[in-house]
Amino acid sequence: MPSSPDKPLILYCTIFGNSMGCVLGQHDESGRKERAIYYLSKKFTECEKRYSPIEKLCCALIWTTRRLKQYMLYHTTWLISKLDPLKYMMESTALNGKMTRWQILLSEFDIVYAVKGSAIADFLASRALEDYFDFPNEDRMYVATTKEGAQEEHPRN
């Protein structure tokens, strides 16, 4: 689903011991229902698995902002998770080098924190892929519709 330019985005983010999951969404025109725009999940590397829970969430947020930069640069994004990485990074007086770099990277975005759980993000994190593959032609999309019992020749063949 394409995003609406006049509404904020909603980013659900959750982490487990070895994986993370995120769902980017937005309220529909009525403002009552949310619709998904993008789903992401990833298994942490061996090094990332040793991070503390707040570092894992920060790592997941950085990874997500890199993947969804084209959406998040132009919208206010409500971050919904069980931990508040933004408060931790902005209020902590003794950040290590990695967290300081992440703080600088996140300052590019307008992210607002809200506490809430998400079953979909939890589900994605629990079934994360071993490796994330970028879609080389993500701006192009072809959807073929067929009627039951009919076979169509693919236009690219």
Q: pLDDT category, 119, cuts 50, 70, 90?
A: low
Is a pLDDT exceeding 90 seen at residue 90? Answer: no
**Top-ranked range on mean pLDDT: pick from 105-114, 117-126, 131-140:** 105-114
Q: pLDDT category, 126, cuts 50, 70, 90?
A: low
65 CB neighbour count, 10 Å cutoff: 21
Give CA–CA dist 100/93, Å, rounded: 10
Give CA–CA dist 40/42, Å, rounded: 7
Give CA–CA dist 2/65, Å, rounded: 17
pTM value?
0.66
CATH code for residues 9-126? 3.30.420.10
| Alpha helix stretches (DSSP H) within the chain | 46-49, 53-67, 69-72, 85-91, 97-106, 119-126
In this prediction, residue 129 carries a pLDDT of 59
Q: What is the mean pLDDT of the chain?
A: 77
In this prediction, residue 41 carries a pLDDT of 93
Helix (H) or strand (E) holding 81: strand 77-81
